[in-house]
């Protein structure tokens, strides 16, 4: 399934849910904010959130800033 992750189109096999995708990417769910198609997906709702072909996913984290 093609997913546009942080602006790059990538093929993910078997990632039917957002929770599974984050797990496949070795991302600690509590350490990121996630948007799917411009909608913020709260931490609690990610594991069951179903993904579809062509979804645009943004995974964001905190870095240094003033």
Partner 1 sequence: MKKFHLGGKDFESRLIMGTGKFSSVEVMIEAIKASGAELVTVALRRFNRERPADDLLGPLTRLGITLVPNTSGARNAAEAVRAAQLGRELSGSPFVKVEIHPNPHHLMPDPIETYEACRELAKDGFIVLPYMPADPVLAKRLEDVGCAAVMPLGSAIGTGQGLSTAEMVKLIIADSGIPVIVDAGLRAPSEAAAAMEMGCSAVLVNSAIAAAGNPPAMAAAFSAAVKAGFSARVAGLMSRCDHAVATSPLTSFLAGA
Q: Which of 2, 31, 45, 47 binds partner 1 (CB under 8 A)?
A: 31
Q: How near is the Cβ of 59 to partner 1 at its closest, in Å?
A: 4
Q: Which of 1, 12, 27, 55 binds partner 1 (CB under 8 A)?
A: 27
Spatial separation of the C-alpha atoms in residues 40 and 52, rounded to whole Å: 16
Which residues contact residue 58 at a Cβ distance below 8 angstroms, ignoring those fewer than 6 apart? Answer: 6, 34, 35
Q: How near is the Cβ of 42 to partner 1 at its closest, in Å?
A: 6
| 25 binds partner 1, rule: CB under 8 A | yes
> How many Cβ atoms from other residues are within 10 Å of residue 16's Cβ?
13
């Amino acid at each position: 399934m093609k997913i546009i992750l942080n602006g790059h189109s990538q093929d993910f096999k078997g990632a039917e849910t957002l929770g599974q995708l984050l797990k496949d990417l070795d991302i600690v769910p509590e350490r990121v904010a996630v948007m799917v198609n411009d909608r913020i997906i709260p931490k609690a709702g990610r594991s069951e959130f179903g993904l579809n072909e062509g979804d645009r996913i943004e995974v964001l984290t905190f870095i240094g800033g003033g």
